[in-house]
Amino acid sequence: MLKNNALGLRNVTLYITPTVVQKGHAATFRCTYDLEGDTVYSVQWYRGSHEFYRYEPSGVSVTQHFSIPGVRLKPDLTNSNSTQVVLTDIEFNLAGNFSCEVTTENGPNMHIKMDSKSMSVVQLPEHPPQISVGREPLDYGDILRANCSSHPSRPPADLKFILNNITVHQSESAVLRRANVRDWSDLQLELQLSFIHFDDGRLVLQCVAQISSIYREVAELELESVRHPVPARVIHPSNRAAGTSPGLNRAIRLGAHSVLLAFVLLQAYY
């Protein structure tokens, strides 16, 4: 007799670790259950409606693995057993819904319970995001124009701009550029600045690139501000030596004038 809601088998739960896996990496599909006096007849793992691994202690072969049409499976049989399956070198087309089904027996009764979870497959950018900006230095009323690019990934990264710790622009569907099976993400910012955007005269612009909970990278750039110049980025006029301050220039000129005056007085005396 087959039963789904008997008091024996209970708490069948599938855990996928990680639920968001990088392409080429491995994932573990762990199926936990409470027998409550029952005996395991079989534990079966499915991707969609296709079975790909079975544990059957009373069978001719205790463990079996099966192929799925159009999907490459590489089970790690050494680390797969009655409660878990490990798949290695995961590809994009393996993403989807997975299930584990537990069948137990207790005398003439058989109990079946199942749990399902989904898994995503991603490929992360190889480099952090990059920021480029328009003209500087910037002041109240100026237009801040900036672009942020995140390198190819799948899915494309979500981008947002943060100015002095305040989000000023974000998009979950930034401009995309295809690179093989991956996409670049581009996000543009055009913002008229006011006093509320400055922090003690400073402007610190960040671009955050994020993919699900598995990836987060930040690019940061301190912009030149009329209200708070950044010395390291000041371009000196061509007639002034780099690193020479106006005060030092005046001191040099005064010293030269003093030497010339002393020379004239000496000539007049002799």
So what's the pLDDT on residue 76? 94
Break the chain into its structural domains and give their ranges. Answer: 2-122, 130-233
Q: Domain 130-233 falls in which CATH fold?
A: Immunoglobulin-like (2.60.40)
Same fold, 2-122 and 130-233: yes
pLDDT tens per residue across span 162-208: 999 999 988 654 556 666 678 899 999 999 999 999 998 899 999 99
So what's the pLDDT on residue 7? 67
Of residues 46 and 6, more confidently modeled: 46
Half-sphere exposure of residue 162: CA atoms within 13 angstroms, side-chain side: 12
Top CATH class, 2-122:
mainly beta
DSSP assignment of 141-184? TPEEEEEEEEEEEBSPPEEEEEETTEEEEEESS-EEEEETTEEE
Average pLDDT, the chain: 83
pLDDT tens per residue across span 249-269: 444 444 444 444 444 444 544
* Residues ≥6 apart with Cβ < 8 Å to 156: 150, 174, 176, 182, 183, 184, 185
So what's the pLDDT on residue 227? 82
* Average pLDDT score over residue span 226-255: 45
pLDDT tens per residue across span 124-165: 999 999 999 988 889 999 999 999 999 999 999 999 999 999
